[in-house]
Amino acid sequence: MTPSPVHTQWIDIAPGCAGYLALPPAEHGPGLVLFQEIFGVNAHIRAVAAQYALDGFVVLAPDVFWRQTPRVELGYEGAERQRAFTLMQGHKDEQALADIAAAVQALRARPEVAGARVGALGYCMGGRLAYLAAATTDVDAAVAFYGGGIHRQLERAATIRCPMQFHYAGRDEHIPAAAVQGVREAMAGKNAEVHVYPGAQHGFNCWARASYHAPSAALAHGRSTAFLAAALF
């Protein structure tokens, strides 16, 4: 079997906090902080890191729940799903902001990034964290996939200066159409894109979930890659 051209490893971000680093085949490029769903830096998030590394980005996925259960990996149903929601509820905003800043700083300091631009990308809870990264750090671009809770922090949109892209499911039981419209209005006049996928449900990008919707996932990935390439390369 041919070895993967993407080299991966866990690295230290800050005392106690680690992150999963995926290097592109060239072993250098613009940085991309990848924020997990509530299920940890699991097999899906690691695969997404490899996917964007193959696109040419140096990807760092911080372990968001490190204070509660370091390197937790959870599934999408039953008791593991419930545990994921419990971890999310115990994740405090002030800690999240500190961790976001630490991850961005750690990635900028990597020799593989070497002064290149850095963006943020996230899914579900991680979509909200990518939005917060755009609002509170110096990232050069951000992409949020079905970011839960963004519509409750729209006041932070005023501080976003970088280009930002949003992806939403048209049949999302967790994020109503009114919430998406609120994001559109809050980002009006900014360098922002809001895409809605009519046939998709929440979590449509994750091939390990019942809600996976391949046409929407492919389209959204293409849009995200083009957007990030234009902003970061």
Which residues carry out catalysis?
124, 172, 202
Nearest-CA neighbor of 28 among 64, 50, 58?
58
Q: Residue 47: which H helix or E strand, with range?
A: helix 43-54
DSSP letter string over 154-209? GGGGGG--S-EEEEEETT-SSS-HHHHHHHHHHTTTSSEEEEEETT--TTTT-TTS
Dihedral over Cα of 44, 48, 49, 53: its sign: positive
DSSP-derived letter for residue 8 is E
45 φ, ψ (degrees, to nearest 5): -65, -40
Dihedral over Cα of 86, 44, 133, 6: its sign: positive
Cα–Cα distance for residue pair 60/11, rounded to 1 Å: 9
What are 143's strand-pairing partners?
121, 165
DSSP-derived letter for residue 69 is S
Q: List, in sequence order, every beta strand (DSSP E) within the chain.
A: 7-14, 17-23, 31-35, 58-62, 118-123, 141-145, 164-169, 192-197
